[in-house]
Amino acid sequence: MSDWLYSDTVKDHFTNPRNALLDEEKEFAYNAKGQTGNIKCGDQMLMLLKIKDDVITDVRWKTYGCASAIASTSMLSETIKGMNIQDAYKIRPEDLVEKLGGLPSFKIHCSVLGDKALRTAIDDYLLKTGREGILKEDASVICHCLGITDKDIETAFTGGAHTWEQLQQATKIGTVCGSCREKAEELLHGLEHIYGK
């Protein structure tokens, strides 16, 4: 593999993924389940957690995705073991990319499935324990001129705004200075992998 674009850490986690679900779900006694992605795009993630006293004691995952998706989820699974769910809920793709020693820019979107599946699994656990909604995702401002966040863009996307033009119609993003367009389009691309079009 002379054209390998990834760090040695990525290669290690891709070729030797940690905590991957090898058998069926029933073989792993979990109490929290999160699934995200869209198999039509080739990216889908299943995350199973064992949580005791709000601490993640064990994790298994399965993904249909590329080397970046596999490596970032493997790293995520190692990172969250022994972590309180409040801290785990705050993990972001950029945290994993840094731990992996970077990813090619066109592969960053592949690292978003793991943290989404993790938060979905934690939400599942909180629902089962009667504490639904006590943890919220932090929103990042994408368009500083209008205060439009990544959550606003995700809401617009799930409402049908799949292109830059549709996103502008839905949110008015980029209508002041336009410097947010590149970041917003990267986010749209990542959302395509999570939700599909």
Nearest to 120, CA basis, from 190, 41, 49: 49
Q: Which residues are catalytic?
A: 41, 110
CA distance 181 to 80: 33
